[in-house]
Amino acid sequence: MEQQIEEYLAYLSAERGLAQNTLDAYGRDLRAYARFLQKHNLTSFQNTEKEAVRAYLEQLHNLGRASSTISRNLAAIKSFYQFLVAENIIDKDPTVHLESPKVDKRLPRVLNLNEVEALLNQPTLEDASGIRDKAMLEVIYATGIRVSELVSLDMTDINLEAGYLRCLGKGNKERIVPLGSVAIKYLELYLQVARPEMVKRSGETALFLNHHGRRLTRQGFWKILKRYAEEAHIDVNITPHTLRHSFATHLLENGADLRSVQEMLGHADISTTQIYTHITRNRLQEVYRKSHPRA
């Protein structure tokens, strides 16, 4: 069973170009499913029936897993069985006609403009790390890129003269995202003053460096963000994705069209971007209630 999972992950990597984080998630979900089957004396994917898959999903439900988690597991299992059938490893797909549970679309938490301003003003420009932090926060809010995309940026991925950056999103899809004037200003400062002080070896390609002179990690950025959120007295649970959500919401609130926001965020499907229209609609209702005499 493990060998077949490994073959499937290799297929996803080679044929569909999925990112390592996505491959790891598929692997975890499928191995947990395989352990469930083995616990119930099913030692081959060939012998599984629809009832076994249903029983596994029911177990996830009984363990209190969210609908989104159960849906993700079913999607991984369905895709895996489709692969096994296509490769003639099994005869039939037990997941045919199995439906995912309804997932409640939770609206992402976004920062208001005052909170964003407070957060972005926390780094001091007195040392190299402060200048770096300021540049990173300005870039991630100006572009809405994912934190994994931010820390993966190389020196060759930014063009300050033209005012854009290039990043690789999910599935290694490249996109070009414009940079605002404020982000450009602090990137220039970082490149002129801070990065030369932080770099430890010639030929280093990473744009944002840690104190060892190596590429900053996602975990490193997370810690930096948490610290500044505390200093800004933002008492909600803020994550790197919060800035991405805020970027999209603020664009839509100020008249950007959905298709442009989709392109900048790197969403393959516009339905993923449409969640932000619910947020802006809620905001409009709030403004209406506060402002209209008959509300």
Mean per-residue pLDDT pooled into runs of 10, the chain (295 residues):
90 80 89 90 83 88 82 89 89 81 60 88 95 95 86 94 85 81 95 96 93 92 91 82 77 70 66 58 56 53
Q: For position 295, what pLDDT does the model report?
A: 45
Answer whether residue 159 is part of any domain: yes
Pair (134, 277) in one structural domain: yes
Q: Which residues have CB under 8 Å from 205's CB, separation 6+?
A: 154, 155, 156
124-160 pLDDT tens trace: 999 999 999 999 999 988 888 888 889 999 999 999 9
Q: Which residues have CB under 8 Å from 124's CB, separation 6+?
A: 130
Pair (78, 170) in one structural domain: no
Distance CA(168)–CA(188), nearest Å, equals: 22
Could you list the active site residues? 146, 170, 241, 244, 267, 276
Q: For position 275, what pLDDT does the model report?
A: 60
| Token representation of residue 18 | 């999925």
| Token representation of residue 121 | 């003003």
- How many domains, in total, are found in the chain? 2
Give me the domain span that covers residue 241.
113-290
What per-residue string of b and e applies to 10-44 under the rule 16 or more CB within 10 Å gives b?
eebeeeeebeeebbeebbebbeebbebbeeeebee
Answer whether residue 236 is part of any domain: yes
Distance CA(147)–CA(131), nearest Å, equals: 18
Answer whether residue 32 is part of any domain: yes
To the question of pTM greater than 0.85 for the whole model, the response is: no
Q: For position 126, what pLDDT does the model report?
A: 93
